[in-house]
Structure 1
Amino acid sequence: MAPSTTKQWTVEGQNGFDSLKFNEKAPIPEMGDKDVLVKVHAVSLNYRDLIIPKGKYPFPMKDNIVPGSDGAGTVEAVGKHVTRFKAGDKVVTLFNQGHIAGSLDSQSLSTGLGGAIDGTLREYAVLDEAGLVSSPQNLSMIEASTLSCAALTAWNALYGLESRALKPGQWVLTQGTGGVSIFALQFAKAAGAKVIATTSSPEKAKLLKKYGADHVINYKDTSNWGEEAAKLTPGQKGVHHVVEVGGPVTMAQSLKAVAIDGVITIIGFIGGAGKDQPTFLDCLNNICTVRGVLVGSRLQMEDMCAAIEANDLHPVVDEKVFELKNLKEAYQYMWDQKHFGKLTVKVAS
């Protein structure tokens, strides 16, 4: 017999993490013909999850949402018209459930899991079969739960602009040790690229080296880290790809680091906003492409998962794993930036 209730969290209000409410017997929605019932085993958290209960998320969302975009689980049951999965299959969630291929549009933009559609921080989830991808066979549930947002965003940053897709021997600049940056480092090294990483501490620098960074710059010691990064490249021409996670406050240095015809992909704004921001004219002066991305499509995710399996890549996961009931503590742990790599929540065994 399929379960009728599920333990789950919801976001009720915008009063910070106190807006997170736990329900131990929430009803499981009725399955449609194209729906899949997924038993969620693990979830990973993103910066986006932290700012939703703080009222700072700029994209569509609904009231009393079940949070969480990232999840890995097992198919428990399928609707009568489901063709992509069967009971027992291991799956991971797609961030924008309606983004199958090509560019985002207004419709697919409004299908963000954990924002516009109930997300993964629950024991059981009913999801359309189109919004799921087969899990790479080489990953555990905890590892697979990290792929939906950070990994796919990094993949899109490096490969989403097809005319400028990353090539072997090119140079990539990553910022910090968050999930997207670490995935970008791993994907770039697997592709035969050179990586310059920035960080704030000698301890994190050692870890970045461990995971393959060719050069590490401490941005607290070197304020002009963009210029220094460019100097490290052949002929001091600059890097081909910048994975920009800081936003406005780091863009000036990213523009100094990028090569002519290079690409700066803006994927976040964890550095906040500042008054002295670069202008559009700076993009012209540096002759580069600056693009913003919101995760990626299912087609990209399928390509990414195939690459992860083929290269036996394993996500970098923080050693601390939280239980579902302790979600508020997990949010605070991540907000305090105590994590390295992806922070995960164990939902079901």
Structure 2
Amino acid sequence: MPIPDHLSYAEAATLPCAAVTAWNALTGDGRGVQPGQTVLATGSGGVSLFALQFAKLLGAKVIVTTGRQDKEQRLRDLGADEVVNYRDTPQWHSAVRELTAGRGADRVVDTAGTLERSLKSVAVDGHIAFVGSVSGDWPPIDPRLLFGAAATVRALAVGSRAQFTRMNEAITASRLRPVINREFAFEEAAEAFRYYESAGPFGKVIIRIR
């Protein structure tokens, strides 16, 4: 795949996994995000940050959840219209309903495996991209909740080459840049993994091969 010409190699390295997964979550069902719709992204990891950036690019209003106060303003600076701290508001689906005047989010990008709360957050005939399914731990769900939501739940991971191509076209046209937290030299790889595990980084952690 060609690299968008305004990106560095470090920035381009963030695209094959997290970015294309987020793009698939927002556009891969055949309908895609429409301008004016509301997207909910759970958490502030790599997929969620790309989902936030892409959803804004596609004209959506974006709500993001996080468990860390120090990330709230950074999420707003990146474009989030609303941020819900799930530690302060454990019933965060109720906050999402309040922020959408009771309607719910048109699309939910669930990267945390919180399917029950996502179903309580989504609008009727909405869409849930269940990225959390890759963990292999499907939470038990009351079928009545699934039926009541009347939403599409799509488990996914990564995306297709065609989706990658369309994503790169959007990135190039908008001059979008991925969020990078910190870069390490290859000789510092062990330190990079320790940092990733303990620091709760905002953005991608990069290891330079050369």
TM band (smaller chain): over 0.9
- Residue 200 (1) aligns with residue 67 (2): yes
Aligned equivalent of 2:8: 140
- Once the 2 structures are TM-superposed, how far is the Cα of residue 280 of structure 1 from its aligned partner? 3.9
Paired residues of 2:56 and 2:62 also in contact (CA < 8 A): yes
Which residue of the other structure, out of 158, 167, 191, is the alignment partner of 1:304?
A: 167
Larger radius of gyration: 1
Structure 2: gaps (5+ residues): none
Write the distance in 1 (CA, Å) between the matches of 2:47 and 2:6: 20
Matched, 1:314 2:177: yes
CA distance in 2, matches of 1:177, 1:226: 16
Alignment of 1:146-295 (within 5 A): 146-162=14-30, 164-233=31-100, 235-247=101-113, 250-268=114-132, 273=137, 277-295=140-158
Residues 292 and 271 of structure 1: CA distance in aligned 2, closer, same or farther (over 3 Å): closer
Aligned residue for 1:330, secondary structure, equals: helix
Deviation at 1:332, TM superposition (A): 2.2
Specify the alignment match of 2:191 in structure 1: 329
Partners of 2:134 and 2:157 within 8 A in 1: no
One-letter amino acid of the structure 2 residue matched with residue 335 of structure 1:
E
Judge conservation of contact 1:246–1:270 (CA < 8 Å) in 2: no
User: Taking every aligned residue pair, what percent have the same amino acid on both sides?
Assistant: 44
Cα distance in structure 1, aligned partners of 2:206 and 2:25: 23
Aligned residue for 2:208? 346
- Matched residue type, 2:195: Y
Kindly provide the amino acid, as one letter, of the partner of residue 301 in structure 1. F
Q: What RMSD in Å do the two structures reach over aligned CA positions? A: 1.8
Partner of 1:109: none
CA gap of 1:210–1:154, structure 2 versus 1, over 3 A, is same
SS at match of 1:252: helix
Asked whether the equivalents of residues 240 and 258 of structure 1 are also in contact (C-alpha less than 8 Å), the reply is: yes
Corresponding residue SS for 2:59: coil
Please list the CA deviations of residues 268-298 of structure 1 after superposition, one character each: whole Å capped at 9, or x if unmatched. 2699958x73244422121111111121011
Give the residue type in structure 2 aligned to 1:314: R
Question: Distance in 2 between the 1:335 and 1:202 partners?
Answer: 19
Matches of 2:21 and 2:144 in 1, distance apart? 26
Whole-angstrom distance in 2 between the partners of 1:288 and 1:204: 30
Q: What CA distance in whole angstroms lies between the structure 1 residues aligned with 2:48 and 2:5?
A: 23
Give the TM-score of the pair, scaled to structure 2.
0.94
Deviations 1:4-40 (A, max 9, x none): xxxxxxxxxxxxxxxxxxxxxxxxxxxxxxxxxxxxx
Aligned residue pairs total 210
Q: CA 1:149–1:271 in 2, change beyond 3 Å: closer, same or farther?
A: closer
Note the alpha carbon deviations across 1:241-264, whole angstroms, 9 max, x for none.
Answer: 1000111xx222111110001111
Secondary structure at 1:246's aligned position in 2?
coil
Q: Which amino acid aligns with 2:165?
A: E
Question: Is the CA contact 1:137–1:309 (under 8 Å) kept in the aligned structure 2?
Answer: yes
Q: CA deviation at 1:153?
A: 0.1
User: For residues 170 and 240 of structure 1, do their structure 2 counterparts lie closer, same or farther at Cα, with a shift above 3 Å needed?
Assistant: same
